[in-house]
Homo-oligomer: A and B are copies of this chain.
């Protein structure tokens, strides 16, 4: 039972010290917790993290830090989260709060709740922030500033745990923390995150101009393709793990693009202007 939450008394362990884990460490540092530890199989990342003062200590074996951690933040690829919990479930300190940063939730929540010890609380979370680069060297506290954070509570969660994760997220600089169930989360994210990545990849891969395209672009093309520089292993996991939602959102997008295409073919200015007016209204209200 947690009362009188004080982050200065918290030992925090980050599992996976890559771009996201490193950004967590740097951002949490500002909140001055008792200790920030990290677990990774990459000894160089741990050593760099220690030398840069990003973490207090790094471990390749999770046992020791887990036994003493009040908060565990999992920053692993989606397919590794279950495996990590399964292999280490006996080491969690009683009343530990676990949270994650996995981009898809449905399925995972049930799978993990099935094996999770009763005396720990897993608050599933999704910081809506990332970068196209990989690795600790590209991590920064700034990626979270002003960003959105999503919690996907389930019936097992204690309200105090949810509030503590929210408080820490706000302390790290997230502007908004919202709660939504895991199913809805995955539908939303297929639209707001995965679909844009699919579009950016398809756009740049459809370039058949045979010119030095970079000399003929404005801000729009630059912005629409930034995320086409993509971590393929991570994003293919995210796409395939959220198949039905993503296919449905791609098809919804295709239908709207088809309306525009047909209006162009038919010289139908009225439909075009109608679509533009609607998109302007939506973007202004976003």
Interface residues of A (CB under 8 A from B): 128-130, 147-148, 150, 176, 178, 180, 184, 187-189, 191-193, 195-209, 211-233, 235-236, 239-240, 243, 246-247, 249-257, 259-261, 264-265, 267, 269, 272-273, 275-280, 282-286
Contact = CB atoms under 8 A, between A and B. Distances in A.
A126 B277 CA distance: 25
Contact of A205 (B198, B224, B236, B282): B282
A250 B262 CA distance: 11
Nearest to A239: B264
Contact of A279 (B129, B230, B284): B230
Nearest to A271: B236
Nearest to A267: B240
21 contacts: A148-B218, A188-B211, A191-B206, A192-B213, A193-B220, A198-B261, A199-B224, A201-B256, A204-B282, A204-B286, A214-B286, A222-B286, A223-B226, A228-B280, A228-B283, A229-B279, A230-B276, A233-B273, A236-B272, A246-B264, A250-B261
A253 B203 contact: yes
A243 B267 contact: yes
A129 to B, nearest CB: 6
Contacts of A231: 276
Given A202-B260, A206-B256, A243-B267, A226 B283 contact: yes
B225 A283 contact: yes
The 3 closest A-B pairs by CB, nearest first: A232-B276, A202-B256, A202-B257
A255 B206 contact: yes
As for how many copies of this chain the complex holds, the number is 2
A90 to B, nearest CB: 33
A252 B208 contact: yes
Contact of A229 (B216, B250, B280): B280
A257 B254 CA distance: 9
A264 to B, nearest CB: 5
Contact of A221 (B193, B207, B251): B193
Given A216-B148, A257-B199, A264-B247, A273 B236 contact: yes
A215 to B, nearest CB: 5
A109 to B, nearest CB: 17
A228 to B, nearest CB: 4
B206 A128 contact: no
A146 to B, nearest CB: 10
